Amino acid sequence: MKIAVDAMGGDYAPEAIVEGSLQAKPQDPIELVLVGNEQRISGILRQHEHSSNIEVVHALDAVAMDEPGPVAIRRKREASVSVAMRFLAENQVDAVVSAGNTSAIVAAAKHYVGLISGLRRPALAVPLPTPSGRVLLLDAGANSEANAIHLAHSAALAQGYLEVTENIFKPRIGLLNIGQEAAKGKKQVRRAFALLSRSVLNFTGNIEPQELFEDRTDAVICDGFVGNVLLKMFEGLSETLLRFLEGQTTGLLSADRSTLSRILQHFQSMFHYRNVGGAPLLGIRRTVVIAHGRSEAGAVANAIHLAARLLKANIYERVAQVLERDRLLAELKHQYTLLMLDQFRNRWSFSHRQ
């Protein structure tokens, strides 16, 4: 398998990206292609032994972390992320890993590689730890806004992904909201509730944030803005909790401190970006993994390992097959059309009575 790595994406690029690629190389039977400024990348590689088997592809430009992604992709056709996605679209590589500007990665993946037929938007999938296992969060940041059909498509992706990766058939899917009642939340969320209620998906209703850890659902759906805020809050809380507890263990016996440390490290290992590496961008036709912008070498290596595991198991192809087999996207489109027609009739009937 051959994986292209966007060497210019991320807060610590290209040094951390190159270092992470070197760490990942011995652990997986993969070929790596570093895409970016050839002079800078080669200069870093020369400082290491056994780096000659990593291919370097020059890219004239890079997308900065603070640039509007879709605009940058149109203006910078030779940016490293665009070159990497073109390689993926042309089957020159099997996957792309990037820690760069998320909106630029999503825009380049959609433009060059394309979406599963019938899908409108991709979604980032991140597992969050719970006392009984994990709950899958979609969307964790691919699209900051979403309407009802986008949220429903994320639910379909969650069902396909959990069936393929966890062998969970008809997973329980909840909609993140400020209350359990169908009338709560923004208009888009209320419409998504109505749409998911009509669908063949195993929709369990609205889920409030504090209920994420109560084993009420296998996946929770929200727009990318809410999902990304939730994920970063979770990361920050876990880091703060670790520091707080470490400061409170001075009076404990050595064995107790060791046990507590193992528990905390296991908790973090289940979701923290340093350990997980990245998140799959579901809905794209080929394997794309987005790593955290703050990724250092270890996180980059783990993101590459994640891409390798996804490739070995043919996850992206199998998710697309589940969606096609169950005609989930076609069914959601049909129900969305009926829902909008019903709402139009209700508004017309109300105004006519007035």
Can you give the CATH number for the domain in which 290 is found? 3.40.718.10
| 198 and 159 within one domain | yes
| 144 and 293 within one domain | no
Question: For 107-111, 249-253, 282-286, 307-311, which range has the lowest pLDDT when averaged over its residues?
Answer: 249-253
- Between 176 and 352, whose confidence is greater? 176
| 142 and 18 within one domain | no
Helices (H), the chain: 15-24, 38-45, 69-75, 80-89, 102-108, 148-166, 187-198, 224-247, 254-269, 273-276, 297-312, 315-325, 328-353
| 185 and 96 within one domain | no
Give 254's pLDDT tier (boundaries 50, 70, 90): low
Against a cut of 0.95, is the pTM above it? no
pLDDT digit string (tens) for 77-119? 999 999 999 999 999 999 999 999 999 999 999 999 999 999 9
| 173 and 96 within one domain | no
| 23 and 82 within one domain | yes
| 239 and 166 within one domain | yes
| 182 and 55 within one domain | no
pLDDT digit string (tens) for 222-246? 999 999 999 888 878 777 776 776 6
How confident is the model at residue 125, as a pLDDT? Answer: 96
| 164 and 101 within one domain | no
Question: For 89-98, 200-209, 223-232, 345-354, which range has the lowest pLDDT when averaged over its residues?
Answer: 345-354
- Between 185 and 264, whose confidence is greater? 185
**Please, what is the average pLDDT of the chain?**
88
Domain of 191 in residue numbering reads as 120-276+315-354
d(CA 144, CA 226): 8
| 237 and 211 within one domain | yes
| 263 and 138 within one domain | yes
Domain count, the chain: 2
- CB count in 10 Å sphere of residue 9: 32
| 236 and 206 within one domain | yes
- CB count in 10 Å sphere of residue 334: 13
Q: What are phi and psi of 263, to 5 degrees?
A: -65, -45
| Residue whose pair of structure tokens reads 């899958």 in the numeric block | 136
